[in-house]
Amino acid sequence: MISLSQLAKIFPTKDGDVTAVDHIDLTIDQGEIFGVIGYSGAGKSTLIRMLNMLEAPTSGAVEVAGRNMNSLSGRKLREARQEIGMIFQHFNLLWSRTVAENIAFPLEIKGVSKAEQKERVDELIELVGLSGRGGSYPSQLSGGQKQRVGIARALANNPKVLLCDEATSALDPKTTDSILDLLVDINQKLGLTIVLITHEMHVIRKICHRVAVMEGGRVVEQGDVLDIFRRPQQAMTKEFVKQVTEPEETEEALRHLFDDERTGSVLQLTFVGGDAQRPLITNIVRKFEVDVSILQGKISQTQHGSYGSLFISVTGPQAEEAIAFMREQQVEVEVIHGG
C-alpha cells in the first residue's frame, strides 16, 4: 500500500544543511494501522508530510496505493491527494463554517453535487458520532468533537489512506481514548490504512499493529507492536516502552528497596499474550520454599494481545530454583537486584 525507498529530506539553513529525514526504507501494508513514534525533532512530521507531497523529498521514492507520488504534479497530484486524507493536532477547521459545511468542503472543491454532498456528509456525521451537531460551529464544540469533524472531513472523498499528524496530542486522556477507538472502528469498517505519528507510546500500544521508532531522522527500530514491547532493542525504544509498562514511581520505589537487606532478589517479569493471565506467582509459592512480594505491575492491551510487566522480590532457600522455574515457563525474567 505504502512504500518508501531511501527517502530523505534536507533543509538548507544559513548554518548549514539539516537532515530531517535520513534515507528511510519503510513498507506499510494495506488495512493496517501503522505508528511512527519519536520525540520532537526526530523527523516524523516531515516524514508523514512527504507521503502526500506536502513536503517534497530531497531524494528517494514514495509510492502510495500504486502511485509514484514523486512523479506527479498539477491535476494528477491533486487527484492522488484525494485518496490520502489527513487530520492534524490543532484540527485546522474553518471557523466560519458549520460542522456539515466543514465536512463538505473537500466535496465542494471536487465539484460534487449538492445532493451528493448532503448524503455523504450525513453518513460521515453519523460515522464519527456527531449526530445532531451538523449545524454547530467549531467554537461550540469540545476538542474531541472538533477532531471528529476533522476525521469526517478527511474521509469525505473516500480515501484509501488516512494520515494522522499528532492527532490526539491536544486532547485529554479520556478524549484521546475515544478518538483512538473511533480510528480503530474506521479502520475495521472501511478497511482504511492509517498512518499516525505521535510521541506517546500509549497511542501506539492502544491501536497500532506495527510501529517504527524514529530518532535523528532515521528509523532505529521497527516491528509488530507486541514484539517491540516484549523485546525493545534500542535505548530510545526502551524509553518509550517504559512510558506504558512502568509507572513513573517504579524506579524510585525499587531503588529504596535495594537498600533493605530483607528484599532479596528483585526481578522484572515480562508476560505476553495468554501468559499474562497465568497464576505463576501462586504456583511458585506452592512449589518452592520461597516468599514472594509483588512490588509493582501492570498489564496493557495491544492490538495483538496483552503485555504484562511485574516487579517482584523473592527470598528463601529455594530462590534460585524458583527463578529457574519461571524461565522454564516462557516468562522473561530479568534480575535487577541481588540474585
Q: What is the DSSP string of 172-202?
A: -HHHHHHHHHHHHHHHHHH--EEEEEES-HH
pLDDT above 70 for 68: yes
Q: How far apart are CA 183 and CA 187, in angstroms?
A: 6
Cβ atoms of 44 and 213 within 8 Å: the answer is no
Q: Write down which residue in 194, 219, 244 finishes a domain.
A: 244
For residues 25 and 134, membership in a common domain is answered with yes
10 Å Cβ neighbour count for 11?
12
Q: How far apart are CA 83 and CA 103, in angstroms?
A: 16
For residues 154 and 254, membership in a common domain is answered with no
Of the candidates 280, 265, 270, 252, the residue with the CA atom closest to the CA atom of residue 310: 270
pLDDT at 230: 78
pLDDT at 311: 83
In the chain, the number of structural domains is 2
pLDDT at 50: 95
**Which cell numbers hold the place of 64?**
502510495
Q: How far apart are CA 101 and CA 137, in angstroms?
A: 9
For residues 188 and 298, membership in a common domain is answered with no
How much is the average pLDDT of 156-171? 93
Cβ atoms of 240 and 229 within 8 Å: the answer is no
For residues 70 and 11, membership in a common domain is answered with yes
* pLDDT tens profile 305-320: 667 778 888 888 998 8
For residues 137 and 264, membership in a common domain is answered with no
Whole-number average pLDDT of the chain: 88
How much is the average pLDDT of 262-287? 76
More confident residue, 230 or 195: 195
Q: Write down which residue in 244, 272, 302 finishes a domain.
A: 244
For residues 92 and 138, membership in a common domain is answered with yes
- Residue 334 buriedness (CB in 10 A; 0-12 / 13-18 / 19+): exposed
For residues 96 and 66, membership in a common domain is answered with yes
For residues 287 and 139, membership in a common domain is answered with no
For residues 232 and 255, membership in a common domain is answered with no
Of the pLDDT bands very low, low, confident and very high (cuts 50, 70, 90), residue 128 is: very high
**Which cell numbers hold the place of 158?**
473516500
Cβ atoms of 255 and 282 within 8 Å: the answer is no
More confident residue, 274 or 237: 237
For residues 268 and 148, membership in a common domain is answered with no
How much is the average pLDDT of 83-88? 94
Q: pTM score > 0.75 for this model?
A: yes
Q: Which domain holds residue 324?
A: 249-337
Torsion angles phi and psi, residue 264, rounded to 5: 75, -145
Of the pLDDT bands very low, low, confident and very high (cuts 50, 70, 90), residue 48 is: very high
* pLDDT tens profile 199-250: 998 899 899 999 999 999 999 999 999 888 878 899 999 888 877 766 555 5
Tell me the percentage of the chain whose pLDDT exceeds 70.
91
10 Å Cβ neighbour count for 280?
19
**CATH, residue 231:** 3.40.50.300
Q: Write down which residue in 244, 278, 301 finishes a domain.
A: 244
Look-up of cell digits 497465568: 278
The strand order across the sheet containing 291-302 reads 291-302, 305-315, 265-272, 332-337
Comparing 176-185, 190-199, 210-219, 281-290, the range with the smallest average pLDDT is 281-290
Query: Read out DSSP for 259-307?
Result: T-GGG-EEEEEEEEGGGGGS-HHHHHHHHSS-EEEEEEEEEEEETTEEE
pLDDT at 273: 63
**CATH, residue 255:** 3.30.70.260
For residues 165 and 195, membership in a common domain is answered with yes
For residues 257 and 236, membership in a common domain is answered with no
